[in-house]
Amino acid sequence: MCSSVCPFDAIKRDPETGKLLLEIEKCQVCAICYSSCPAKAIKIIYYDINSLTRYLENAKEEYKSDSLVIMCKGSAPDFADVEKLFGISNFIPLSIPCVGRIPPELLLKAISPMGIKMIYILACDENYCRFERGSSITGRRITALNILLEQLGYAKKLIKLKQHSLKVKADRNKCISCGNCVFYCPYDAAKLEQGTATFAKEKKKPNILVLRCQWSVFPKLDEEFDSNVHVIDMPCAARVDPLHIVEAFRQGIDGILIAACPEEDCKSKVGSKEARRLTTALKKTLSQIGLEERLHFCSIAPRYPESFYEELRQFKVRIENTYSKEVRH
């Protein structure tokens, strides 16, 4: 089953021995294999049943709700839009890299013994799924679970599924026909326009800003950083604009780390390559004013869980040393 559901052919059966082989470099850490394994033979690093169960138990008390909304990061809107989509204002939010990684056992455990009365699952549109099969597998799984729950005496469609994908909108009244969207868009949609990011000053110095592709790192549910590190997860590292970098420095940010997927893993096809090109070009410009070492680019894959934190640690040390020297002078 694991080899049949893997979207990236990372799990294959050896024709001679019959054993299953994992090619870790092909693995995109979608965990669809984990959620599909009937023998529980696969263990995962991120978002296992135990950590998700602990989160739900704590969140149920925090949010004082018996409605659970599970959202794929690629389709998750803000809370106001969740209310519009499902018609609920008070709910327990759970955002994960792909809803296809949620095993049926967790949904059943949320209903009993946790006492969740309704589960809403927000998946990407099937043709927008970053992991190709996550949305379609989730749809079939929910249909089967609802049939089972109804046979056990629960209400009909206790688990509700909606497919939704975040898309940009073009304001034709402001368009100057520059053609940038056409040039950069890997899907030939020709309607993309870059959004903007806001930057917050931190009280503690030096201030470090991390602009991180949400597919490059799967953070822990209780992830915390030092007070002088501010992290912004973005749909793609290519969404970083030079103006974001310049504005961040202007507002007092001392160091900026851009974390992207390896090019071969990029969910937007050319996003990582474009982010690297942008960073390289911008560092040349920043070198004219002595700030090139304040901007750092790195490629991170979630299959190596500690790599991001090690990159951040090394960058943080470098920036802190530079800041200390400047303060002394």
Q: Which of 250, 272, 257 is nearest to 199 (CA)?
A: 250
**Would you write out the chain's pLDDT as a tens digit for each of its 329 residues?**
999 999 999 999 988 998 999 999 999 999 999 999 999 899 888 999 999 999 999 999 999 999 999 999 888 778 888 888 899 999 999 999 999 999 999 999 999 999 999 999 999 988 889 999 999 999 999 999 999 999 999 999 999 999 987 777 767 677 777 777 777 777 666 644 444 333 344 345 789 999 999 999 998 888 889 889 999 999 999 999 999 999 999 899 999 999 999 999 999 999 999 999 999 999 999 999 889 999 999 999 999 989 999 999 999 999 988 877 665 55
What the chain holds in terms of domains, given with CATH numbers, is 2-163 (no CATH), 208-328 (3.40.50)
Q: What is the pTM of this model?
A: 0.72
> Could you tell me where the DSSP H helices lie in 73-122?
79-86, 104-111
User: Which residues make Cβ contacts (< 8 Å) with residue 138, sequence separation at least 6?
Assistant: 99, 100, 102, 121, 123, 161
